[in-house]
Structure formats: structure tokens, C-alpha cells
Amino acid sequence: MIDIAAELGEWCADGRPFALATVVGVQGSAPRPPGTCVAVDVAGQVLGSLSGGCIEGAVYELALEVLKTGRPQRASFGYSDSDAFAVGLTCGGTIDILVRPVVDETSRDAIRYVLDALAEGRPVALVTVVDGPAGTLGTARALTASASAGDPPVHRDADRASRALLARGSHGTHRYAADGGCDPASGEVEATRREPYIESFTAAYASPPRLLVYGAIDFAAAVAGIGRFLGYHVTVCDAREVFTTRERFPDADEVVVDWPHRHLRSLADTGALDERTVVCVLTHDAKFDLPLLDLALRLPLGYVGAMGSRRTHTQRLEALRATDLMEDQLARLHSPIGLDIGANTPEETAVSIAADIIAARTMAPCRPLRTTDGPIHRPAGARRAPEPSRHR
């Protein structure tokens, strides 16, 4: 929903009736993850994409039918070897789609709540019934850490289970037995799975991860641009005021004049960092680099990388060992930063760095797809075993 938030907000403000199609389940290789949305209004205008093209027409027709009948529908799309003209996913997986009408104030309340939270940068989740007794399909409830809007809870444990997913920033499905509760950690019903039951899908939209770029150089401007493109909240920080200006870094969300290690410490002290946070050290100056890396490698961050030659990297490691950093902490340092793709310009280097950040998160082997087998698209959070000598 993040991809279409601005336009969808205008539709809600206008009171425009529309159908919302959401990916609520994925099996195998699929082009878009759970939580991806497409909206279709009564005039046939479309926002977003679910598959990159292979099932868009079928979902579009289903959305128009839902708008006509006012009844939500759930459908599955997969690949059929037996019928080359069948609607399905060419990538070989299966996705489950729920299409529901958003045509009155009650159905719009939850959507508005989600859109408002996204605009304010607050983590929010949308809980939608995807299976259950008659009349429950498609009912939706929006949740933040402490409040909610939309339809009543689908089950007495629904809000608790969904907020647990929201805290982890992950999507998930829960099934609730009428005579039992649900374990919010596993999603399993506490009692036996006897009918009737209600199944809900929680799409969690966490606040954007942070990309902290230290060093106000030309490479930093390119990294800030690609970081914003990837959905990060980008901060550029340097202690040199003359170089650290908004004009030089228009793609950054924040431009901060401060000593890098002091800035990072302030974020850590306020709880603004998490395991998704990325730190890129581009300063090329030991008096900035060393205290910053000494701190960053002690924090539970998602990625810490530093620009420099192999000789500089060796000297850095020697200096950092003198600060009593452990070898496992030093091993987390991506230096020289980036993947070896032959990059030379700041823009090419930014692509190299972005690819390394993604690979570190997914633990992908970083080989051309033509030399690999298995699914091309992997579920969010899925990892492959790392291979040696990825970028050093």
C-alpha cells in the first residue's frame, strides 16, 4: 500500500468508491510479496501492480465485479503447464489475492487510518479477514501500537497477535478457532482446529529503515539518491559545515552538521536505531572513521560499510583491534564497501554499495541469475547460505 499511498489518499478524500486487491499469501516464486496492493475505482482507473503484468487483467476484471456486486472475493493464481493460455504466474509460484470493496465511510476508516500513519511515519498494520463465516470476509481493522480504527476485532486475540507482527515489522496470517485462542508468535490455534474458524491476514507497514551516510562527498550524494529510491530514510552527516548543505544533498531526508560518532551515539541513545539500520562511512579520514566504526560495530545494526583502499582497510583493522573490538565484530565490517561490479563513477559506486547492502540482508550469493537455480523471487526475509569471497 505504501507504493500507492498518495493517490489512494486522494481517492479516500474524494469519497471515491474503489476495490482494493491485496496479496494475502505467496507460495513458491512470486513477483510481489504479501501486502502488495492494487486499487481499481468505478471508472476503471488503476493504482499499483500485483505481478508485473501476468495476472493484472484478471485481477482488474475481478475488482470491477466486486465493485458491481459489493461482495469481497478471494482468488488464487498459479502456473499451469497444461494450458498455455491460462491466466497465471509465469514465474511458477502461486499467489492468493483478496479483493474487497471500499465504498462507504466505514470501509474507508481503516484505509484512512493506515494512510495517515504512513504519512506521519508511524508503524501501522492492516488486519483483514481472508476466510471465515459468512459476512466476515473482507472486514478490515487498522492498528498502531496503542490504537485502532475500522471494523471491530475479528477475534478476541486478533489485535494482540497482529500487534506482535507489527512490532517485528512483518506480515503474517493467523487462524482463530471459535473455542480457542491464538499464539501470536506462531499463529497456531491454541485449541484444536475445529470449525468454525476465522483467518486473518496482517500487513504490517513499519517505519522506513535508516540509511546513515557519513562523509559529505560526491559519492555520498549518489548513495543518498539510491538509498531514497530503495525506501530508506536517508541522513547525510559530516562535521564540516561548508560541505554539509541541503543544496549538495537534495535526496537526503536530513542533512546534519555534527561529528559522525557523536551523531550515531545520539541516535543510539534515543532508540532510533534497529537491526535494519545501514551505516555507510565515506569520510576517508581516520579522525572521523575510527571513532565512528568503533561505535557502529558494537551496535546491533544491519550493515556497516566503509569506503577506502585495501591498504586503508588493513590499517583500519589494526587500529580498531587496539580498541578491544572482538574479531566477530570486526568481521561485520564491509570494507572496501560494495560489490565488485567494475564501478568507477559515484553513481556506479552507489549501485555497487546498494547491491552489497541488499546482499548482506538476504545473504544471497551474488551470482548472475543465469548461473543459479531455484526460485528467482524469494519471500521477504528468506535467506540463502552465504558463499565465500563475495566482495573482498
- Lowest-pLDDT range, 111-125, 287-301, 309-323, 377-391? 377-391
Rounded to the nearest 10°, the torsion over CA 241, 244, 248, 252 is: -150
Q: Please state, in angstroms and rounded to a whole number, the distance separating the CA atoms of residues 251 and 302.
A: 22
**pLDDT score of 87:** 45
Q: Do the beta carbons of residue 1 and residue 8 sit within 8 Å?
A: yes
- Whose CA is closest to 4, among 31, 34, 26, 36? 36
Domain ranges of the chain: 1-103, 104-207, 210-371
Q: Mapping DSSP to helix (H, G, I), strand (E, B) and coil, where does residue 54 land?
A: coil
Strand partners, 62: none
Of 126, 130, 188, nearest to 159 (Cα)?
Answer: 126
Contact yes or no for 103/67 (Cβ under 8 A): yes
pLDDT at 386 over 60: no
- Output the DSSP codes for 130-174: EE-STT-TT-EEEE-SS-EEESPPSSTTHHHHHHHHHHHT--EEE
Take residue 321 and report the three cell numbers written for it: 583491534
Q: What is the DSSP code string of 312-362?
A: HHHHHHHHHHTTT--HHHHTTEE-S-S--S---SHHHHHHHHHHHHHHHHH
Mean pLDDT of 349-370: 90
Give dist(CA 129, CA 200) in Å, integer. 4
Q: Measured between alpha carbons, how far is 131 from 324 in angstroms, rounded to an integer?
A: 55
**Mean pLDDT confidence for 267-287:** 91
Question: Percent of the chain having pLDDT more than 70?
Answer: 85
Listed range (20-34, 72-86, 310-324) with the worst mean pLDDT: 72-86
Q: pLDDT of 177-195, one tens digit each?
A: 755 555 444 444 444 445 5
Q: Classify domain 210-371 by CATH architecture.
A: 3-Layer(aba) Sandwich (3.40)
Spatial separation of the C-alpha atoms in residues 262 and 168, rounded to whole Å: 28
- The DSSP code for 182 is B
Looking at residue 376, its pLDDT comes to: 64
- Residue whose entry in the numeric block shows the C-alpha cell 509460484: 93
153-165 core/surface letters (b: 16 or more CB in 10 A; e: else): bbbebbbebbbbb
Q: Which has more pLDDT, 259 or 146? A: 259
- For residue 154, the Cα-to-chain-centroid distance in whole angstroms is 26
- pLDDT over threshold 90, residue 269: yes
